[in-house]
Amino acid sequence: MKRILLSTGAKRKVLVVEDERINREILFHILSEEYEVICAENGRQAVDILHKDDDSISLILLDLMMPVMSGTEVLRICRSEEKLSRIPVIVMTQDEEAEVSIIRAGADDFIKKPYNMPEVILARCERIIELYEKKRLIDSAEIDPLTGLYTADFFFEYIRQMEKYSDAEMDAVVMDIEHFHLVNEICGRSEGDRILKTIGLMIASELSGSYGIACRCAADTFYVYHPSSADYSELAGKILGEVAAESFEKANIRIRIGVNKNVDRNDPPEQWFDHAKMACDGLRGDYTRQLAYYDSEAHDRQLYHERLIRDVDSAIVNRDFVVYYQPKYDISGDVPVLRSAEALIRWKHPELGMISPGDFIPLFEGNGLVQKLDRFVWEEAASQIKKWKEEYNVALPVSVNVSRIDIFDPELESRLLRILDKNGLSASELLLEITESAYSDSQERLIEVVNSLRKRGFRIEMDDFGSGYSSLNMLTTIPIDVLKMDMKFVRNMLRDEKSLKLCELVMDISRFLNVPVVAEGVEEKAQLDKLKAMGCENIQGFYFSRPLPAEEFKELFG
């Protein structure tokens, strides 16, 4: 502040309250170079000046022994009135024994008469003024003026101080008002502020007498550091009851609460509340409950998934993704014959090791990143088909996955054709597996894409047929070339009558549509024999081979 004042030429105001003229003049002379000095001859005059000009006065220099009104009475008034209490007071007296009592009465410092040490007086004045200015800044930043709770910065600092003196079990609680911006828009900002103030008062009341603190962290978000074992649903009910009692018109309030139970003191306080907020945010749109607890295992899974998402692009560039091939055999004759293969992606992460497709495929299907994997697999599979043709004179068709998101890519067909052209392949050598779930999104778009691809010579396989979305009507409207029987049916067909009947039903449908079936997940000879007896001619599964890297797959060519 002093630097700012010097740059503008402004001076702080100091009120000198001294009944002896010579002393007033001495102090005026000492102080006037640094400060704008106002003088009062007695206590009553000083109080009148303060009431008129309290906002601009930075310091009071106060004599104790004066006519009309003593310095002691002036000090009492200054400390009893809120506006005046912000002004520091330095008492001036010859009575050294009065020092302790005056400090206890509220004085901030003590200057002895006579005034024969100007440098000491100036130094003490500057120190006290700067201390009070810093205190006012701290006070203004410490408390949220609307709710009376702490502001976020002070909240976390006080928690760190509290942690030095207690190891009691504590919870980090985040309370958020659902769609509060709508409350402001519908009811007006003043009504919204009244709701926030009411909630702040309720939280403060809950914490009164307990070892806990709270803050308003954002416009409609409250953080509470609370002793464990509290019933937060009950607290939310009390708050909503109070809001209802206040008759907030048109305000339909819902509070979400996330709790990080018994915080881990090895983590910083900010992380405790980040975790509680995750639990709170997880309740968005869920109107069946208002309270959720942070789950560290779920959080670890989330971090793991975020890591996978972050590493996708580098994995493609560094070829950490590897395409494996699982053979499909024709079992119509006495000896099974290798007819084609399915391309399956694997992830050899340089730090996390081999990652299961079950971890990353559903994740990437949910956020659209699966399209990047599909394109990588298309390129790799086409290149491998070309390589096998050149090295072993074997033209082995390979099935690749076409995801739901690929169907809506306007460049899908041209992209696939460019890959074929690049590797000198025909459309019949790159089989397109469309998962059955893709058939539920937009049948019109799917029919258009599939018809166009089939006209180009591509063969369309419906993957995981029977897994949940298919219908006979859909099969009559969307053209396909192959049905792939869901492996869950095959896996249970010898132990479960329903699964067996479903396998038979798929075979009946294939005969009705006059399209072949590929049975996935065949692991036992008894399964193979049963499927062959049903009329299934194409088998894929561990009975013949697990998915293999290209270098091992070539051994199957004989």
- In the predicted model, is pLDDT for residue 246 greater than 70? no
Which pLDDT band, with edges at 50, 70 and 90, does 94 fall under?
confident
Q: Tell me which amino acid residue 430 is.
A: L
- In the predicted model, is pLDDT for residue 209 greater than 80? no
504-524 pLDDT, tens per residue? 999 999 998 899 999 999 999
- In the predicted model, is pLDDT for residue 97 greater than 60? yes
- In the predicted model, is pLDDT for residue 5 greater than 50? no
Which stretch, 52-66, 245-259, 280-294, 298-312, has highest mean pLDDT? 298-312
Map residue 270 onto helix, strand or coil. helix
CA 197 to chain CA centroid, nearest Å: 26
Q: Is CATH 3.40.50.450 the classification given to domain 329-557?
A: no
**Eight-state DSSP code of residue 143:** B
- In the predicted model, is pLDDT for residue 8 greater than 60? no
CATH fold of the domain at 2-141: Rossmann fold (3.40.50)
Share of the chain above pLDDT 70, in %: 91
Domains 2-141 and 329-557 share a fold: no
Contact 124, 109 (CB under 8 A): yes
Contact 69, 42 (CB under 8 A): yes
The pLDDT of residue 377 is 97
Going 62 to 63 to 64 to 66, the CA torsion angle's sign is negative
Which pLDDT band, with edges at 50, 70 and 90, does 206 fall under?
confident
The pLDDT of residue 468 is 57
What is the dotted CATH code of the domain comprising 152-294? 3.30.70.270
Going 162 to 163 to 167 to 172, the CA torsion angle's sign is positive
| pLDDT, greater one: 141 or 109 | 109
The pLDDT of residue 291 is 87
Q: What is the mean pLDDT of residues 468-496?
A: 80
Least confident of 1-15, 207-221, 353-367, 534-548: 1-15
Rg (CA), the chain: 40
Question: Domain limits of the chain?
Answer: 2-141, 152-294, 329-557
Q: What is the mean pLDDT of residues 37-55?
A: 86
391-408 pLDDT, tens per residue? 999 999 999 999 988 988
Least confident of 102-106, 196-200, 305-309: 102-106
The first and second tokens of residue 390, run together, are 């050149």
The pLDDT of residue 7 is 45
Which pLDDT band, with edges at 50, 70 and 90, does 250 fall under?
low
The pLDDT of residue 531 is 95
- In the predicted model, is pLDDT for residue 42 greater than 60? yes
Check whether the bond before 114 is cis (ω within 30° of 0).
Answer: yes
Alpha carbon distance 468, 127 (integer Å): 77
Residues forming beta bridges with residue 110, ordered by sequence position? 91
Residues 6+ apart with CB under 8 A from 47: 69, 74, 77
- In the predicted model, is pLDDT for residue 553 greater than 90? yes
Mean pLDDT across the chain: 86
The pLDDT of residue 245 is 63
- In the predicted model, is pLDDT for residue 6 greater than 70? no
The first and second tokens of residue 253, run together, are 């309030």
| pLDDT, greater one: 186 or 281 | 281
Residues 6+ apart with CB under 8 A from 270: 156
Question: From the CB of residue 418, how many other CB atoms can be counted at a distance below 10 Å?
Answer: 14
* Phi, psi for residue 182 in degrees, rounded to 5: -70, -35
Residues forming beta bridges with residue 355, ordered by sequence position? 347
Is the whole model's pTM more than 0.75, yes or no? no
Question: From the CB of residue 98, how many other CB atoms can be counted at a distance below 10 Å?
Answer: 17
């499927």: which residue's tokens? 531
The pLDDT of residue 1 is 47
Contact 531, 497 (CB under 8 A): no
Alpha carbon distance 265, 272 (integer Å): 9
| pLDDT, greater one: 255 or 310 | 310
166-204 pLDDT, tens per residue? 778 889 999 988 877 777 766 777 778 888 888 888 888
Which pLDDT band, with edges at 50, 70 and 90, does 37 fall under?
confident
Strands 482-485 and 548-549: unpaired
Q: What is the mean pLDDT of residues 476-485?
A: 86
- In the predicted model, is pLDDT for residue 249 greater than 60? no
- C-alpha angle 154/150/193, rounded to 5°? 140
Q: What is the mean pLDDT of residues 205-233?
A: 84
Alpha carbon distance 422, 411 (integer Å): 16
The pLDDT of residue 96 is 67
Alpha carbon distance 41, 59 (integer Å): 16
Element (H, E) at 310: helix 296-317
Contact 384, 553 (CB under 8 A): no
